[in-house]
Structure 1
Amino acid sequence: MKKNIILLTVLGLLTTFSSCSDDDIYKESPNAILVDEFYKTEEDFTKAIYGLYQDFKQIGFYGGSGYSRDLVVVGDILSDNLLSNYGGRGSNRAANNWTYDSSQTPTDIYGAAYRMISDANFILSKINNLKEGEFKNRIKAEVVLIRAIAHFEVARHYSEIPTQNSTSISSIGIPYLTEYNPEFKASRTKTIKEVYDNITQDIESVINYLPDNYQDINRLNQYSASAFLSRVYLYNGNYDKVIKYGQKVVNEIQPTSKNEIANFWTSKTSKGSLFEIPYLQANDPSIGSNFGYGTNANNMVMEFSVDKELYDLYDSATESERKNTYFKIYNLAGDANNENIIVNKYFPGQIKNYINHARYLRVEEVIFNLAEAYYLKGNPSQSLQILNIERAQRYTNFEGEEKGEELFEAIITERRKELAFENGDRWFTLKRLLGVKNIPLKYSKGIKRSGNGYRADGSGTAPVQLELKESDYRWQLPIPKEAINRNENLTQNKGY
């Protein structure tokens, strides 16, 4: 049956504007007897759903291609966490310098996400081959949720976020595809509000059909769906819904403790993880290749190093476990033995001799979502209480008594520190806060980088540009040129 699972990805190519040739695309015809003989039994659909989860291993999500274009790194490159290392090959340096365009895009997630959407819709087109009941309902719910995740990733990368400014809700959205049709050429007729409404409505329509437990974190359940809804509603500015869905998760699931954090990022434990893609085989992608490669300081080639400003936010005295897990300082032979701060969270796998799981949702993120929602709802005492759940697991001691704007700063700073190098969180946090009211004024001004170079002491070449203003068109990434060329109905984002 292996060919049948591969068929999903082949069919998905039809709507993702891939650079493959027509011969490659049509090696397996959607009308072939192979498809007709599949999707008949529960076993068939079980294999299909496992195949759909494999789409998260694509380049753009967690493919580990070595070209620094996956979800775990791009948002940190675009924001103020990572600096292009000039001892490297220059991978994705245009993203760090904000000099990208439709021919040189920062990420491959556009094609990867629409391939996932197409694969999901193909499964849904066959779902009525199953008899009514619990199994059918669960499969359908998982597929709909994965499809919603894929649409969300396209939306936040390529369109405005609803809270980005006062007019964002009526700004141009993305194609929201709910039917499998390889010949359909989608257009961007929906507003971004309509897209976010489609995402949340889809998830809420199926969430009760998912398992009501969080034990199997390799498949989606009600807890991971609730966590994801807390993220989407935070982007949508609906703080009541953030609280509704986030509180359940935080009440039931504890974050990783400081004593377990090293084991978490060596995939020896998954405590606090809500949804992850397990990487267990030697040929699974190496997420750390997004940051660089090599086996020791003598042959290590770093594509991106950590900005000294970020590194200095971590206190060696009170949070040594997290700091030592997230970072290492190496005297790199390829940089005249100068010290560089490397991302130790994933890299380099060869040194640690393990493979990292791809973590898409963690309870720590939900804590920050919830703390921010309570703050913006005018409940600072509850906001502080929620934030301190995470801080109690990270620090040997902390004051934890902030008020007013200091409390908001504490939420965003702790979020930056905990979620660094995870799913682009820093970039999207800065993007979505641009238009949020009653928070420190600096968040409405865009990005202002430190000006440091890529070495540990702040020396070395700095990014070409240090500021990205709040109104800059580059907050919305360019839709890849090949997608526009293949579909005349697509509208390119302004400025490209």
Structure 2
Amino acid sequence: MKQYKLLSLLAGVSLMAFTSCDLEEMPTTDIGFDNNEETVVNGANIQNFENGLYSAFRATQYGTFSEVPELMCDGFNETINSGNYFGPVHRTDDSFTSSNQDVESIWGSYYSAIVNYNNVINNDYVNEQEAAFMVEDADYTQVDAYAIRALGVAHFFRAYTYMQLARLFAKDYEPSTAATDLCVPLVLEYNQEEKPARATVEAVYGQIKKDLDAADQYFMKLYEAAAQLSQANQLTQSYYDCYNTILPSGPGSESVTLDAIYALYARYYLDTHNYPEAATYAMKLISGGITGKTGYALAEGAKGMQQEYTYDQGTEPIFQMAASLAENGSGTNDAYLQGYANGASSYYLDPWYIPSAKLLNAYEDQDLRLLTWFSRNEPVLWEGWLITRTINIFTKYYGNPELNNSIVPNGRQHVKPFMIGEMYLIAAEASLQAGDPTTAATKLNELQTMRGATPTAATMENIQNEWFKETVGEGLRFSCLKRWHIGYNGRPARDYSVQLPTGKTLSGYTPAGTDRTQKNMPADDPNWLLPIPSYDIQLNDNLVQNPGY
């Protein structure tokens, strides 16, 4: 892990003369790229192009992107009211094919976003600024700092997106086979005529590392440049703004920071089996991030959990994206809610998926996550009857009241791509794998204690169970089970039954069957690799389909 000595050259310098115009308050103005026309990027509009990067990234968060890798696994059961939404994904039966629309949406959206990132990375104006910025003895006053920041952001988003694609469509990174295992096409420049073949897992993760290193390098050099200009009394508005965004001032930064880069490094090193580095990056964030004083902390008690997971005002996010009542810009994890108005002053839920007994039973009664993220108090529609205080609903993404102008829960939350809880889990798992069970136990037990759970020994099984409980709904279950090579054996449901006033008994809210509640998905199941969309294979005869489709 690179070690940086953070300079204090900006301390005591009169910076208040500047009015920050950074991405902490993201403007709704953004510019996208049209590959059929020449797009002019310059100092006057570079910030709008940078906002476009954030819009493209945010559009690939939550909704289908997190629900598909959750619902394929063992944490949720399909209800009788699902309408077959995500049904093929959940069951992976004969209806789950390479033409699956959910998978096509994920693949297409990720690659569409990559087009935006590539166009900034390869833009002539941005590259001219980068060349002037990176030379020895550069004259920073002649460089557009916003262009350098946008370049770093684009590299970071591209690294993140390729990691998501690799986790979904390729085998887990194994050092002994990564050089031959197929991953996804590496598309780094726009070429409408190109028909790229699938790169190897090793090549894709190699590109992820290059992009992370580039983002880290540009951000650190921006910091150093701002410090140097401040010392020389030449600090400009652009460098001041960039300084304020790349260094996190506290939890919940709405822009990409050096700490967000560290979080993605932690994931990268965990995936690639470099456990000492994974633990080091995760521990750095737990200890306050690059500044050592950012203040990431697990929520304190029930009130802290509510502040974090209802109002999006907690201390856990390393990166939390902007949102407003008027502008959502991301998907919503609403497969667990599906709320509808019931008159002017009430509502009911008609969820497609509810928590499995396996998930609910993983928690102790006093666990704050069980008490905060699940509820039996919601009115649920069942065969025309409104049933209350019976069915467990997953409410982790119930919706921030500030992002809702209705009484009906809408599932809208600020997108949080990285949370400090995940860093505790990475630190525990990586430390154990690296032969440091003491640190593994310390980090695991700190997380468990803050969540109101009983501390356990730092065995791999206990760490895996904590991943299940802590990151439920975040879309990480699929990649975790793949990384551990364990699959799952069954996802039993709670046995819900209700005696109606008519004398009839309602039962079977979650249909049983070998592809539903009794489903097994062993580690060698071909569905751990999502299918390459058939439409893309028809257009590109260089693409090779994953086995089993």
Within a 5 Å distance, the mapping from 1:246-285 to structure 2 comes to: 246-252=282-288, 253-258=296-301, 259-284=303-328, 285=330
Of the structure 1 ranges 471-480 and 177-186, higher mean CA displacement relative to structure 2 is found in 177-186
Equivalent residue letter for 1:213: P
Spell out, residue by residue over 1:241-279, the C-alpha distance to the aligned partner (whole angstroms, 9 max, x if none). Answer: 202322211111322333311111123404110122222
Q: Call closer, same or farther: CA 1:201–1:283 in 2, change over 3 Å.
A: closer
Q: Call closer, same or farther: CA 1:110–1:354 in 2, change over 3 Å.
A: closer
Q: Call closer, same or farther: CA 1:325–1:468 in 2, change over 3 Å.
A: same
Q: Is the 8 A contact 1:484 1:490 kept in 2?
A: yes
C-alpha displacement at 1:214, in angstroms?
Answer: 5.2
Q: Call closer, same or farther: CA 1:402–1:110 in 2, change over 3 Å.
A: same
Match of 1:490 among 511, 529, 543: 543
Of the structure 1 ranges 154-163 and 125-134, higher mean CA displacement relative to structure 2 is found in 125-134
Match of 2:113 among 100, 105, 116: 116
SS in 1 for 2:450: coil
2:243 counterpart of 1:207: no
2:485 counterpart of 1:430: no
Q: Is the 8 A contact 2:350 2:381 kept in 1?
A: no
Counting aligned pairs with the same residue, the percent is 22
Equivalent residue letter for 1:287: T
Q: Which residue matches 1:379?
A: 436
Equivalent residue letter for 1:255: L
C-alpha displacement at 1:354, in angstroms?
Answer: 7.9
Within a 5 Å distance, the mapping from 1:280-429 to structure 2 comes to: 280-284=324-328, 285=330, 287-295=332-340, 299-316=348-365, 318-319=366-367, 321-329=368-376, 330=378, 332-335=380-383, 336=385, 339-347=390-398, 350-351=407-408, 355-395=412-452, 398=454, 400=455, 402=457, 407-422=459-474, 424-429=475-480
**TM-score, normalized by length of structure 2?**
0.75
Q: Is the 8 A contact 2:76 2:356 kept in 1?
A: yes
Q: Following the alignment from structure 1 to structure 2, what is the Cα–Cα distance between the partners of residues 301 and 476?
A: 31
Q: Which residue matches 2:37?
A: 30
Q: Following the alignment from structure 1 to structure 2, what is the Cα–Cα distance between the partners of residues 7 and 139?
A: 13
The runs of 5 or more residues in structure 2 that have no matched partner are 1-26, 134-142, 220-245, 289-295, 498-506
Q: Call closer, same or farther: CA 1:412–1:169 in 2, change over 3 Å.
A: farther
Q: Call closer, same or farther: CA 1:267–1:183 in 2, change over 3 Å.
A: farther
Q: Following the alignment from structure 1 to structure 2, what is the Cα–Cα distance between the partners of residues 162 and 472?
A: 17
Q: Is the 8 A contact 2:77 2:491 kept in 1?
A: no
Runs of 4+ in structure 1 displaced over 6 angstroms?
456-459
SS in 2 for 1:274: strand
Q: Is the 8 A contact 1:214 1:224 kept in 2?
A: no
Q: Following the alignment from structure 2 to structure 1, what is the Cα–Cα distance between the partners of residues 74 and 489?
A: 8
**TM-score, normalized by length of structure 1?**
0.82
Q: Call closer, same or farther: CA 1:323–1:235 in 2, change over 3 Å.
A: same
Q: Following the alignment from structure 1 to structure 2, what is the Cα–Cα distance between the partners of residues 353 and 299?
A: 12
SS in 2 for 1:462: coil
Q: Which residue matches 1:193?
A: 202
Q: Following the alignment from structure 1 to structure 2, what is the Cα–Cα distance between the partners of residues 3 and 274?
A: 22
Spell out, residue by residue over 1:187-236, the C-alpha distance to the aligned partner (whole angstroms, 9 max, x if none). Answer: 11x21012112111220233143224354622111111111111121111
Q: Following the alignment from structure 1 to structure 2, what is the Cα–Cα distance between the partners of residues 219 and 212?
A: 10
Q: Which residue matches 1:44?
A: 45
Q: Which residue matches 2:534?
A: 481
**Aligned-pair RMSD on alpha carbons?**
2.7
Q: Which has the larger radius of gyration?
A: 2
Q: Call closer, same or farther: CA 1:487–1:453 in 2, change over 3 Å.
A: farther
Equivalent residue letter for 1:359: K
Q: Following the alignment from structure 1 to structure 2, what is the Cα–Cα distance between the partners of residues 81 and 282?
A: 32
Q: Call closer, same or farther: CA 1:484–1:286 in 2, change over 3 Å.
A: closer
SS in 2 for 1:224: helix
Q: Following the alignment from structure 1 to structure 2, what is the Cα–Cα distance between the partners of residues 471 and 401?
A: 30
SS in 2 for 1:375: helix
The runs of 5 or more residues in structure 1 that have no matched partner are 12-28, 65-69, 435-442
Q: Which residue matches 1:452?
A: 493
C-alpha displacement at 1:283, in angstroms?
Answer: 4.5
Q: Call closer, same or farther: CA 1:453–1:385 in 2, change over 3 Å.
A: closer
